[in-house]
Structure 1
Amino acid sequence: MKANIRSIRKQRKYSEEFKRRLVSDFEKGKFSVPQLEKLHGVPHATIYRWIYKFSIFNESGFRVIEMKDSSNKKMKELEARVKELERTVGRKQIMIDYLEKMMEIAKDELDIDIKKNFGTPQSTGSGKTNKK
Structure 2
Amino acid sequence: MKANLKTLKKHRIYSEEFKLQIVHDFESGQFSVIQLEKLHGISNPTIYKWIYKFSTFNEKGSRVVEMKDSSTQKLKQLQTRIKELEAIVGRKQISIDYLEKMIDIAKDEFDIDIKKNSNTPQSTGSKHIKKH
1:7-64 deviation per Cα after TM superposition (whole angstroms, max 9, x unaligned): 0011100000100110011001000011001111111110000001001001343122
- Structure 1: how far apart are the matches of 2:72 and 2:40? 24
Provide the residue aligned with 2:51 in structure 1. 51
**Cα displacement (A) at 1:75:** 7.4
- Structure 1: how far apart are the matches of 2:30 and 2:48? 16
Counterpart contact for 2:53–2:59, Cα < 8 Å: no
Give aligned-pair identity as a percent.
61
Provide the residue aligned with 1:72 in structure 2. 71
Structure 1 unpaired stretches of 5+:
78-132
1:90-130 deviation per Cα after TM superposition (whole angstroms, max 9, x unaligned): xxxxxxxxxxxxxxxxxxxxxxxxxxxxxxxxxxxxxxxxx
Runs of 4+, deviation exceeding 4 Å: 74-77
- TM-aligned CA distance change 1:8 to 1:15, over 3 Å: same
**Cα displacement (A) at 1:71:** 4.1
* Matching residue's letter, 2:8: I
Q: Give the structure-2-normalised TM-score.
A: 0.51
Provide the aligned length of Structure 1 versus Structure 2. 76
**Cα displacement (A) at 1:5:** 1.2
- TM-aligned CA distance change 1:17 to 1:8, over 3 Å: same
- Aligned CA-pair RMSD: 2.1
Larger Rg: 2
- TM-aligned CA distance change 1:31 to 1:74, over 3 Å: farther
- TM-aligned CA distance change 1:14 to 1:65, over 3 Å: same
Provide the residue aligned with 1:28 in structure 2. 28
Say whether residues 1:39 and 2:34 are aligned partners: no
* Matching residue's letter, 1:13: I
